[in-house]
Amino acid sequence: MKTEDMAINIFDENGGLKDKETVLKETAKVYDDLAEEQKSIESEFSSSDLFTTPELQVDISKTFETHDFYCRNIYITDEITDELCLVACKTIDFYEDIDNKDGVPVEERKPINIIINSPGGGITAAYMLIDKMKNSLTPVNTITIGEAESAACLIAISGTKRFANKHSAFLIHQGQASINNEAGKVVDWLKYYDSIILKQMKEHILEDTKISKTDYDNKVREDWYLTANEALKYGLIDEIIGGLKI
């Protein structure tokens, strides 16, 4: 139906108002014509047309990207690397900058969500992101949806609010390393790792969780796996949830 055909004139040819019944009848006819046209259009397409007709197809990857952008979701679902954490840091900067420029009060800001399912990775890369999270005026929540092991666990416990799905798993340990270098340099690196990295990890975990110093010292030298319920008990997370909606 053309646009001009949808117009309803409430005045008669002499410039006076048409009676109400006539106007209602003309309105009803336009509505019926539009409804019939809509039905005809819908009958021309089937569900399979969504997959076979180019004009109707949706770019799923771009749709998901748009959804994540709107929801402020950052996914960490791979090994923790400098590259991955740098992208996450830049994304946090972006959202915080928007909130700052819009003058949104801190308590009213929409949180950024870091969604985690990672076996861990580089601890220095993890702390690059952790420092960014803790320095952000816009809250940065963490949601563990699978595993948060080693360096990923350190990220998971660092959120403003920390959530996990009920079947999530966490791993705390002293890390692992494979070193191939001159003996003196290996000794120097081990001293650095023991005196700086392990000390930093211990202080961080004791500060951001309910784990006692005794429990930490007794369990951390081996792989300490925790279920979501145990993570809640020891204060690694604040709440167990059923999905991404919080």
Radius of gyration for the alpha carbons in the chain, expressed in angstroms and rounded: 29
Q: 173 an active-site residue? A: yes
Terminal Cα-to-Cα distance of the chain (whole angstroms): 45
Q: What is the 3-state secondary structure (H, E, C) of 62-128?
A: HHHHHHHHHHCEEEECCCECHHHHHHHHHHHHHHHHHHHHHCCCHHHCCCEEEEEEECCECHHHHHH
Task: Enumerate the β-bridge partners of residue 148.
Answer: 118, 170
Catalytic-labelled residue, pool 136, 150, 158, 168: 150
Amino acid making up residue 206 = L
In angstroms, what CA-CA distances link 74 with 4, 70, 113, 132, 188?
48, 11, 6, 13, 36
Q: Measured between alpha carbons, how far is 148 from 169 in angstroms, rounded to an integer? A: 6
* 154, 201 contact by CB (below 8 A): yes
67 is catalytic: no
211: tokens are: 């784990």
Which residues belong to the active site?
Answer: 150, 173
